Amino acid sequence: MNITNIKRVSSITILSVLLIMVILLATGTGAMHISGMQVLAILLNKAGIHLPVAYEENMPGVLWMIRLPRVILGVLIGAGLGVAGASLQGLFRNPLADPGLIGISSGASMAAVVMIIVQSALPVFQHVPVLNFYVLNLAAFAGAVITTLFIFRIARTGGQAAISTMLLAGIAVRALCESVTGLMTYLASNEQLRSITFWSLGSLGGASWQTVAGVAPFVIIPLIMLPRLAPALNLLALGEREAMHSGVKVPRLKSLLVIFATMAVAAGVAVAGIIGFIGLIVPHIVRQFTGPDYRILIPGAALSGAVLLTVADLLCRTIVAPAELPVGIITAVIGAPFFLWLIIKEKRTIPA
Amino acid sequence: MMLCVKDISLSLGKIKILQGVSLEAAAGELYVVMGANGAGKSTLLKVIAGEYMQYQGSVMIGGKELKSLPIAAQAHTRAVLSQQLTLNQPFTVEEVVSMGRYIYNAHLSATDKEIITYALKIMQIQSLRDRTYPTLSGGQKQRVQMARVLAQLLEAPDLQATDYTGRKMLLLDEPVTGMDILHQQLSLQLAATLAASGVLVVAVLHDFQLAAAYASKLLLLKDGRVYAQGTVEEILTSAHIKNCFGVDVAVLEHPHCHYPLVVTAATGGLFQSPALKALKVL
């Protein structure tokens, strides 16, 4: 067993254990306190295993209907943001790449904000309030996917997406989306403004088993597929030419990376709004411990993203309880100083 | 014929880089390409490596048209060591060398691991195995990349055990850049050993002494065209070198050397080249 394998097995094990602990803690914390053992007992009870732990009668209801969907949604969205960030940093060969770079967030925001404004103008939505929620989600998802594909399409020449063109196109398209978002914000009423602000800062408050079921396939497919691309991503770090020489079908790899990264993020953005910083910092944190090997980095980023968002959501619903902070504020408050610390630390170790 | 390049031309933008280049190289040869900066050496190598698909003419590798070979088949047949590789992520030396096995297995088998260890040993970088790549010196990095390319090429952890005739080709673009004299010699000895096992090695070199000592055939490029090709003795003449590089040289025989020695002429003679004459005027 060489160092790479030891690093891989130990970091994945530690992160998995950490994730389970965080999930137990987060599902137990709230207006009604449920201890970790009680959470475990309630969960295992469903599977037919009876632990000798006493719990109150209404605890399973709170756990199953309120806490668990929210925690699982956080785990899914966090994992999606983490893997998307790691893969995009590999695709762009740039550690500053994040899902925002290829227009996922700006496209989703634009579509969502337009939808918020349009919804109140159309009477259909007032009569069927359930529609509101789903249409907003769908619009955000479509906005993310269309923007990303558009940027990808512009950058494609001769069957290959030129990475530098993609970055530049990303900047331009993002600016365009943000101007539309800005215009809508300007046109919005006070009430719409609140909804826009809340949406653009992200929240897991809308979690239910339905949203979990809606998001799950979009996150799980990339979670299965992206690790398979890890060896090719490693070669891509040497350059596109070297990757090609070594047998990587580079154009196909790039398309798959963009598609899976968009899938992993877009569904989450659609139900929970924009949650910043996780896609950017999670791969950096993981890299500190595992090194740059994508075979470890991608699963590591999935687990760490899940841990980080679960913790952030736990904080945002407990520190001002019974009110809630938007989760994007917490991720930025944890993420930004941490990122600064990483930059300063890297500046010291790597000579300019 | 392992490699058969027929009348290829390539323009990048409006600039003609290669014009009507043809060459034939057989399995087991160490085929050296030389020429002044900008003569088209690297581009020729890149065309053979499958990087430019817009060339005119034909490139046949092992009897098959290059354009019809899928990426995977190309990678099974040839390995490439390019110039100016940048890798700034802190992969370990072992991880970088392991990347060479990509085409064979998604997960490294026991044989893969033996080949990786063997490649590290051949390039004398076992002691660097757990070092991160960005912390290495230029010459060490070059040796790591050479080991990676070797890992891609080899089918067994032994240079001589397998007969690669007609199946493997190695392209080296200035492989010894930044290496100390010992590792320059070792790298070319390695190339010669691979050639002896049937691998066709095509190398771009700048050093006349290395070329003279190791090449089985030489190609001189000038302004994107083939200036001359043939054996070391046919190509390394003072007239050819003067015409291609604009430098006066003397080609000497040495009693203990089996190859011609190319030495730049004394200072007085050097100033006969137009470029340097101009300098003297200044």
How far apart, in whole angstroms, are the C-alpha atoms of residue B221 and residue B211? Answer: 14
- Chain A, nearest residue to B90 by Cα: A292
Q: Domain A3-349 sits in which CATH superfamily?
A: ABC transporter involved in vitamin B12 uptake, BtuC (1.10.3470.10)
Q: pLDDT 10s per residue in chain B (282 long)?
A: 899 999 999 998 889 999 999 999 999 999 999 999 999 999 999 999 999 989 999 999 999 999 999 999 999 999 999 987 888 888 999 999 999 999 997 778 899 999 999 999 999 999 999 999 999 998 999 999 999 999 999 999 988 888 999 899 999 999 998 889 999 999 999 999 999 999 999 999 999 999 999 999 999 999 999 999 999 999 999 999 999 998 888 888 888 888 888 888 755 455 555 655 555 554
Helix (H) or strand (E) holding A61: helix A59-62
pLDDT at A53: 81
**Residue A69: what pLDDT?**
94
State the pTM of this model: 0.87
Q: Decide if B85 and A2 are in contact by the 8 Å CB cutoff.
A: no
SS3 B8: strand
The answer to whether the CB of A107 falls within 8 A of the CB of A144 is: yes
Q: Which residues in B lie closer than 8 A to residue A246 (C-beta atoms)? A: 75, 99-100, 102-103, 152
| A contact test, residue of B43, B85, B92, B99 with most A CBs within 10 A | B99
Query: Cα distance from A238 to chain B (closest Cα, Å)?
Result: 5
Cβ-count burial of A348 within 10 angstroms (0-12 exposed, 13-18 middle, 19+ buried)? exposed
- Would you state the pLDDT for residue A352? 41
Asked if the C-beta of A2 comes within 8 angstroms of chain B's C-beta atoms, the answer is yes
Residue of B nearest to A293 (CA): B91
Residue A351 has pLDDT above 50, yes or no: no
pLDDT tens-digit readout, A217-242: 889 999 999 999 999 999 999 988 99
The residue ranking higher by pLDDT, B198 or A138, is: B198
Q: Does A242 touch chain B (CB under 8 A)?
A: yes
Contact A35, A28 (CB under 8 A): yes
Angle, to 10 degrees, between the axis of helix A278-290 and the axis of helix A327-349? 40
Mutate: best of A229, A242, A245, partner B, most B CBs <10 A: A245
| Cβ pair B79:A245 closer than 8 A | yes
Strands (DSSP E) contained in chain A are: 156-157, 160-161
Predicted confidence band of residue A87 (pLDDT cuts 50, 70, 90): very high
Nearest residue in B to A241, CA atom? B51
Interface contacts (A, B; CB < 8 Å): 74
Could you check whether the bond before residue A322 is cis, i.e. omega within 30 degrees of 0? yes
- A350 vs B182, more confident: B182
Residues 79-98 of A with CB under 8 A from B: none
Determine the pLDDT at residue B69: 94
Three-state SS string across B155-179, please?
CCCCCCCCCCCCCCEEEEECCCCCC
Joined tokens for residue A327: 């989760």
Are B99 and A246 in contact (CB < 8 Å)?
A: yes
Is the minimum CB–CB distance between A241 and chain B shorter than 8 Å?
Answer: yes
- Give B8's strand partners: B21
The beta-carbon neighbor of A245 closest among B75, B87, B90 is B75
> Which one has a higher pLDDT value, B258 or A343?
B258
Question: What is the least distance, in Å, from the CA of A340 to any CA of chain B?
Answer: 19
Contacts of A238 in chain B (CB under 8 A): 85, 87, 96, 99
Q: According to the model, what pLDDT value does residue A190 have?
A: 86
> Which residues 6+ apart lie within 8 Å of B79 measured at CB?
A245, B100, B149, B150, B152, B153, B168, B169, B170, B171
pLDDT tens digits along A13-43: 999 999 999 999 999 888 888 888 888 888 8
User: Where do the domains of chain A lie?
Assistant: 3-349
Length of chain A: 352
ipTM: 0.88
For A240-284, what is each residue's pLDDT tens digit?
899 999 999 998 998 899 889 988 888 888 888 888 889 888 998
Instruction: Give the closest of A2, A237, A247 to B91, CB-based.
Output: A237
* Domains of chain B, CATH where assigned: 3-245 (3.40.50.300)
